Chain A
Amino acid sequence: GNSVTQMEGPVTLSEEAFLTINCTYTATGYPSLFWYVQYPGEGLQLLLKATKADDKGSNKGFEATYRKETTSFHLEKGSVQVSDSAVYFCALSTNAGKSTFGDGTTLTVKP
């Protein structure tokens, strides 16, 4: 079956530091890949997505590239802000069906 493995947290960074959250997946077929963000007290929000190999998703300074050869979709941001503190979930979806999520990585950014 499908599975997503995320870098374990929590991750604590200083403002303006570089962020990487690792995500690898196992899937049958050709999945679409997603990063969702959950801010404290709020629901899941789509952060970015990529639908085929070598696609790069980007939003709000975050980027992730769909790497089929390494089955990875690592999330990066060059300079984090305090407002980026949240839980980040990597997910995949195949054939418009269910999504499979990782367990989430908690990011705390300190001023």
Chain B
Amino acid sequence: DTGVSQDPRHKITKRGQNVTFRCDPISEHNRLYWYRQTLGQGPEFLTYFQNEAQLEKSRLLSDRFSAERPKGSFSTLEIQRTEQGDSAMYLCASGGGDGTDTQYFGPGTRLTVL
């Protein structure tokens, strides 16, 4: 069990550019979640997948955000036309391997939009 991994760990981009993040969940987990965390706040839910199906999306997830999990394994989160307000830590979590609601978090991708 290597845990949840995320790539890249840090991303600096200019406003208006597109960015894509990747998450590799724990291999036996069928659920995958994306959250956003800003300084001094708890993580806020963005979206989640059960296998390859995207089951829920937050109202926080504007049209500029899209997430995929094409084969039910890794997932990508893309932000188009980034804005300074998108600067945050993007967290991925996975769960479902033990029959409980427990989610296991990756280290996060810190996005800075200049």
Contact = CB atoms under 8 A, between A and B. Distances in A.
B21 to A, nearest CB: 14
B31 interface: yes
A81 interface: no
Interface size class, chain B: 20 to 34
Contact of B41 (A96, A97, A100, A103): A103
B26 interface: no
Q: Which of A34, A49, A97: most chain B CB closer than 10 A?
A: A97
A43 B33 contact: no
A97 B42 contact: no
A98 interface: yes
The DSSP consensus for interface residues of chain A is strand
B85 interface: no
B108 interface: yes
Nearest to A44: B105
A43 B101 contact: no
Interface in A32-51: 32, 34, 36, 42-46, 49, 51
B106 A32 contact: no
B111 to A, nearest CB: 15
Contact of A46 (B40, B43, B104): B104
B95 interface: yes
